[in-house]
Structure 1
Amino acid sequence: MEHPEPDARNLERSLGEYVRAVAAAVGVPDESTTVEISDTATAYLGLPQRWIDRPDHDVMLVWNERRGWSLAVETDPAEDPVVIAHHDGGDLVPDPRAVAQFVTDTAAGRHTGRKRPGPVAATTRGALAERLSPYVHHPR
């Protein structure tokens, strides 16, 4: 089935609603999230946890349209974050409860998805917008 490409504004809104649902499941306020649509659609959630190996750095949950969710530790602004684990499962838009469980399991040392995954099945932005559409509840 062919999916028409959404405009960036609609995709940003849909992704934003999904990220808010993930934030609620993880237990962080909306203010701790950002979404950006550019050459790659991305999302960020700042988490209140600290990582035992890097107690002076913030932990973040990040998403991009090519690889899905990853848990990472922020470093200096000029450096890339240190990835702790990648959510495996092959779904770019897993249920928010599954993402929350991924965070809980990783923090407890029970997550084994540490290797860098390949891209999740290639998808168009139209297909991504369709997967995100259940999270859009009302027009703004």
Structure 2
Amino acid sequence: MTLTNSVLPGRARASDWLDEDSTWELSLGLAGYLRAVAKRIGVPAEGTTFEISDTATAYLALTRRSPAWPARDLMLVWSERTGWIVSVETEPHEAPVVIACFGGTDPLPAPDAVARFVAEALTGDGAAVARVTTRIDTNRVRLAKDLAHYI
């Protein structure tokens, strides 16, 4: 979707019109960000989903498997509070199995950085294999503004 002045009269940039209730803008931006990440990782659109509720979250069904879990599907999940995490798909009665967490304080690392993180997590290389999530302090308006260029 392209935002034009007919949609936003008198506004030149999407970030100019964000306000306290930025759910719509956040949805558009997160959809674009998720598409960009999925493209870098090679996940088709039907393997992605996201939700905006009390927490913004996203899910990508990974097409690759981990050597440590060859019989299990993997997922890449994102939350505005924890960032990106590679996990094993588990049954509801099973405990979560986290393979790697993308550390740091930036809830929106560049799609290329997320792709490198996933590659490292699946091979066990690099710093990506951290298994401790850190809480990211986010502000919904700022998050929507940061995602605006993915619209």
TM score, norm. by length of structure 2: 0.81
**Counterpart selection for 2:107 from 92, 96, 109:** 92
The higher-RCO structure (CA 8 Å, 6+ apart) is 2
User: CA contact under 8 A between 2:38 and 2:44: conserved in structure 1?
Assistant: yes
Match of residue 85 from structure 2: 70
* Matching of residue 116 in structure 1 with residue 116 in structure 2: no
Q: How does 1:20-35 map to 2 (within 5 A)?
A: 20-35=35-50
Find the residue that maps to 1:117 and give its secondary structure.
Answer: coil
Across the aligned residues of Structure 1 and Structure 2, the Cα RMSD in angstroms comes to 1.6
User: CA contact under 8 A between 1:6 and 1:129: conserved in structure 2?
Assistant: no
User: CA contact under 8 A between 2:99 and 2:131: conserved in structure 1?
Assistant: no
Give the fraction of aligned pairs with identical amino acids, expressed as a percent.
Answer: 47
Please list every run of 5 or more consecutive structure 1 residues that lacks an aligned counterpart in the other structure: none
Match of residue 70 from structure 2: 55
Please list every run of 5 or more consecutive structure 2 residues that lacks an aligned counterpart in the other structure: 1-17
User: CA contact under 8 A between 2:22 and 2:144: conserved in structure 1?
Assistant: no
- How far did 1:112 drift? 2.8
TM score, norm. by length of structure 1: 0.87
Query: How far, CA to CA, are the matches of 2:21 and 2:35 in structure 1?
Result: 20
User: CA contact under 8 A between 1:62 and 1:71: conserved in structure 2?
Assistant: yes
Specify the code of the residue in structure 2 equivalent to 1:105: E
**Which structure's residues are more often strand, by fraction?**
1
